[in-house]
Structure 1
């Protein structure tokens, strides 16, 4: 009688083998960024030179452009508050995704001006 073979798709440790729904993970607690429980808060992605970059993207949005603000380095709740204020300033929708603020439409000049007024060193990135 043969011994049963192990199914190669089943992990021995009982952990997650593969998942598409988690997204980016916090480097401190290794949980999803939305579920981060760190006392420090989720570290934002800051650019190496300390400049907040405001760019425009259309990739994956069927040609519709969004303005992306990256390099802020704020905790998730502070980032959401700032996003709400910037969306009101632009009169447009948007949200926070992967530590970046995305605002519908092309509002780069207005956002650079507003972030500079608030004390950030902001610059327009991309074409």
Structure 2
């Protein structure tokens, strides 16, 4: 017997909770300057309750071919990757806002 989602009550194979959560969130993408003139792309506004931020960070790091981390509910990628991150997140179903 398959597992049941505690949020929507559907079987895990049919669960749409994560996709609905992606559509409702507005993810902010911005650029930050660190010391020595280093540029960091910051992805903020992701709700960690419905989406695994560490897994999303891993996906973004591999798609952008950059290092990075996730701290305090934010994802930080080394370098300026606004366009790539926006394209990847929209492909995954997120609404994005570039600052």
What TM-score, normalized to structure 1? 0.55
Residue of structure 2 in register with 1:55 after alignment:
30
Say yes or no: does 1:102 pair with 2:76.
Answer: yes
Return the alpha-carbon distance in structure 2 between the equivalents of residues 88 and 50 of structure 1.
23
What aligned pairs does 1:1-127 form with structure 2 within 5 A after superposition? Answer: 50-59=25-34, 61-75=35-49, 78-125=52-99
> How far is the alpha carbon of 1:50 from its aligned partner?
3.5
What TM-score, normalized to structure 2? 0.70
> How far is the alpha carbon of 1:62 from its aligned partner?
2.6
Q: Which structure 1 segments of 5+ residues have no match? A: 1-48
Residue of structure 2 in register with 1:15 after alignment:
none
How many matched pairs? 76
> How far is the alpha carbon of 1:97 from its aligned partner?
1.0
Q: Which structure 2 segments of 5+ residues have no match? A: 1-23
Q: Which runs of 4+ in 1 moved over 3 A?
A: none
Deviation sequence 1:43-76 (CA, Å, 0-9, x none)? xxxxxx94100000014x332010000001124x
Return the alpha-carbon distance in structure 2 between the equivalents of residues 58 and 99 of structure 1.
19
Provide the alpha-carbon RMSD of the alignment: 2.0
